[in-house]
Structures are given as C-alpha cells and as structure tokens.
Amino acid sequence: MRYDKQSAGRLSAGLRSTRRARGLTQAALAGLSGAGRVTIARIEAGAAQDFRLGTLQRICDALGMELAALPRGARETQEKLLARERARARRLDVRRRHAALAARLLAMPAPEAAAMVRRARAAVDRWERKQLCSEHYISRWRARLAGPVRRVAAALLGHDDWTDALLQNSPWSFALEPPAA
C-alpha cells in the first residue's frame, strides 16, 4: 500500500504512540500481529515503501485500532468539530462554576458574601488601574457587580452576548471551584 508523506507520518505516529501506550515493544507487537519486527519498525519510521494492506490491518487489529479510508479533509473536519466541542464543554463548565458560586453567595452569611463581592470589585479596579482589560470589559463587569449580593448572584446566572467572553477572565477566580476534569 503506497501513501503520501503526510499520511505516512500520521499512520506511523498513531501506531507508535498506541503501541507504546499499550506497553508493547515492536517485537511483542510483531508476535501479536504476525508481522515482522523490521516491518513494524519501518512503518513506525514512516519509510517510503509499499506495505501490504493485510499487514497493516493485522497490526491495527493487534493494537485495537481501526484501519479506515477517509475522504481527503475528513480528518481535519473531525479535528475541528472535536475542538469546537471541547471549547463548548469548557464554556459550559465555566458557566456551571459561576452558577455554583452564585448559589454559595446566596447561601453564605451576608457579611461574608459582601466581602467576596468587594474582593471581586477590587479585582476589576486593579484591571482598570493597570489597564489589563478593555474599557468595555471593565464596564460590563462593573455592571454585573453593582448592587446588593442578591443582584450580583443573579448577574452571575445571566446570559447575553458577552457572557462567555466575560467568564473567560473572571474577577471571581479566587472563589471558583476547580474546573471539571
């Protein structure tokens, strides 16, 4: 089976990393797959030579991998979709963490909650003083932190066009629970 350099690189890197992750040597993989150790070494090195499809299939089977033919660009499309989904998951996790903070603010004693709001406001003051964020960003956080604790907690639950951008850099970093694993 002949393949171009880019495909060879992806194939060789994928096989090598999976073999290593499974704790197998090239010799052990050769024993499991019925392929020669030298053949496996050449494939992993990205050697520009023909390899039999059956050999590649046996190696993939031994590693628990699937050998698939994809249309050109399909891999990049899948990677973009995966990256988008990971970004979406991060945004949702940040919203969840801020919602949990809003619940804690409402449940804790009023003086303690007020002190936390003051600390968040101080962070925004520092951003402005040191010019760490844009004027728009600072003004939007000031609006969300204005008023009594109940209003601030409600603002943490709000959602508008700026929510995701604002929550990426939050004055509440000192009070947020750790991100989901």
Encode pLDDT of 165-176 as tens digits: 999 999 999 999
Tokens of 27: 């010799």
Which domains, and CATH codes, for the chain? 5-63 (1.10.260.40), 78-168 (no CATH)
pLDDT tier, 6 (very low <50, low <70, confident <90, very high otherwise): low
Per-residue confidence band for 1, with pLDDT thresholds at 50, 70 and 90: very low
What CA–CA distances, in Å, run from 143 to 104, 120, 124, 146? 20, 12, 11, 5
pLDDT at 4: 58
